[in-house]
Amino acid sequence: MILLDGKSVAEKIRNNLGKKIEKIKKKTGETPGLATILVGADPASKIYVRIKHKACNEVGIDSREIRLPEDVSKEILIQEIEKLNHDKSIHGILLQLPLPPNLDPLEMMNKIDPKKDVDGFHPINAGNLLIGKENFIPCTPKGILTLFTEYDIEVKGKNIVIINHSNIVGKPLSLLLLNRNATITVCHEYTKDLKQFTKLADILIIGIGKAKFIKKEMIKKGVVIIDVGINRIEGKLYGDVDFEDVKEVVSSITPVPGGVGPMTVASLLENTFLAFKKLEITTSF
């Protein structure tokens, strides 16, 4: 069994990115800038935002955090987004999800300048992905593709089952893999007899928020598993796959923690740098 070590791959990405940013800063004085917007005080969201800002600092990306109260009006939030859209020192904007019930996430995402949409959720960037024009790729799917590349996992012609049909992971990932000529099956909570699909998977990708859901009897020998799930039980983190149960059956698997999570953050840094390069017309690049 090969452990797909997202932590070490993400560290390599950060190191390479840090060197590029430092070189550009010395030559031009220019630095990428990322702004995050956190509405409310959701504990998990606060942790995720803190991790993202820490990662920015490590590679030399200027980061700015905008905090708004949970009862903020739609109009005020849009004003904050517009300010960032016009701020030339900010190249990437991340609106931390979930939002309070009174705010429509799709409507708010639509207000972000597509050129600064480092999450890849704006309808323009999502539409480009549909037609095979990959610009800003959502961070978790992008991180998964990078893991495949780093570990020489071929997806062309493979049967890939994705158990997740969200706009953040399942949908964009299915398109990315179709663009790479994989055969894709997308499953979800309404899928009947899930096992009949998972048993056929050469590569299984799951993110449903149910700890230790996938057991060895649900998979075939030699499968590659990407576990996107994060579940906290009595202070410990577990994935959606029962790691101990399947480890003798799989060929490769991501650990939880230390698999997909670090790759998601590394991909955000890459997207911010990409936005910086596109927005700053600088011959030094």
Render 169-183 in DSSP notation, one character per residue.
THHHHHHHHHHTT-E
52 is annotated as an active-site residue: yes
- If DSSP codes are grouped into helix, strand and coil, which group holds residue 241? strand
Tokens standing for residue 159:
């049967």
Q: Which of 52, 111, 142, 158 is catalytic?
A: 52
Residue type, 264: T
Single out the catalytic residue among 5, 96, 142, 202: 96
Buried b (16+ CB within 10 A) or exposed e, 154-172: ebeebbbbbbbbeebbbbb
Core vs surface per residue 54-72: b (16+ CB within 10 A) or e: ebbeebbbbbbebebeeeb
- Annotated catalytic residue within 5, 119, 227, 240: 119
The tokens for 123 are: 């309808």
Q: Is 79 a catalytic residue?
A: no
Question: Phi/psi of residue 56, each to 5°?
Answer: -60, -45
Active site residues: 52, 96, 119
